[in-house]
């Protein structure tokens, strides 16, 4: 079995983290009663913490992606602050909507990367570079986010 047939987390960062210039922050506390894992798309909540993005993002392209959340890492759980990237990365993730194709523009829709539509195109986060299926039949996509 190839290393590319499995993933340790729901998001593998191919470029941009832990080095190489991604826009990273770990200053936002995780909102109360929120569990986050790698690959979750997040936004800053009203209280200044990060919370999982569950609604369509149609007004801005400010959705972040969790590198390590409180479900992935004991030190993140202890600190209460997730590691979040806000841009400048390439990610291989299973947090994608079905039916993505190479070249699709993607937005953060319903908490996952999904094909941008005329409504969500202003909030385009990135572009799909590759799509595939893991050994356990889980779909993934490689997405570049600028």
pLDDT at 1: 38
Cβ neighbours of residue 24 closer than 8 Å, sequence gap 6 or more: 17, 67, 83, 84, 85, 86
Separation CA 97–CA 106 (nearest Å) = 10
* 110 or 134, greater pLDDT: 134
- Torsion angle of C-alpha atoms 3, 102, 25, 81, degrees rounded to 10: -60
Task: List, for residues 8-43, the tens digit of each pLDDT value.
Answer: 889 999 999 887 777 777 778 998 888 999 999 998
Residue with tokens 């470029």: 15
Residue with tokens 């993002």: 57
Cβ neighbours of residue 50 closer than 8 Å, sequence gap 6 or more: 28, 29, 30, 31, 34, 36, 42, 43, 44, 64, 66, 82, 84
Q: How many domains does the chain have?
A: 1
Nearest residue to 22 (alpha-carbon basis) of 90, 91, 89:
89
Angle at 141 between CA 127 and CA 90, to 5 degrees: 55
Domain that holds residue 111: 3-145
First to last CA, the chain: 32
- According to DSSP, residue 146 is labeled -
CB 68 within 8 A of CB 83: yes
Identify the band that residue 63 occupies on the pLDDT scale cut at 50, 70 and 90: confident
Considering the chain, what is the average pLDDT of its residues?
A: 86
Q: Looking at residue 119, which CATH number applies to its domain?
A: 2.40.300
pLDDT at 4: 66
């Amino acid at each position: 079995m190839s290393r590319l047939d499995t993933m340790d987390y729901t998001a593998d960062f191919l470029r941009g983290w832990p080095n190489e210039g991604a826009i990273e922050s770990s200053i936002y506390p995780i909102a109360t009663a929120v569990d986050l894992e790698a690959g979750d798309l997040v936004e800053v909540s009203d209280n200044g913490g990060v919370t999982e993005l569950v609604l369509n993002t149609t007004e801005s392209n400010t959705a972040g992606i969790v590198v390590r959340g409180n479900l992935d890492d004991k030190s993140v759980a202890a600190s209460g602050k997730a590691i979040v990237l806000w841009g400048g990365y390439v990610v291989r993730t299973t947090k994608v909507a079905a039916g993505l194709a190479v070249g699709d523009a993607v937005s953060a829709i319903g908490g996952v990367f999904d094909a941008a539509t005329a409504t969500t195109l202003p909030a385009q986060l990135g572009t799909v570079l590759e799509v595939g299926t893991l050994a356990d039949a889980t779909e993934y996509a490689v997405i570049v986010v600028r």
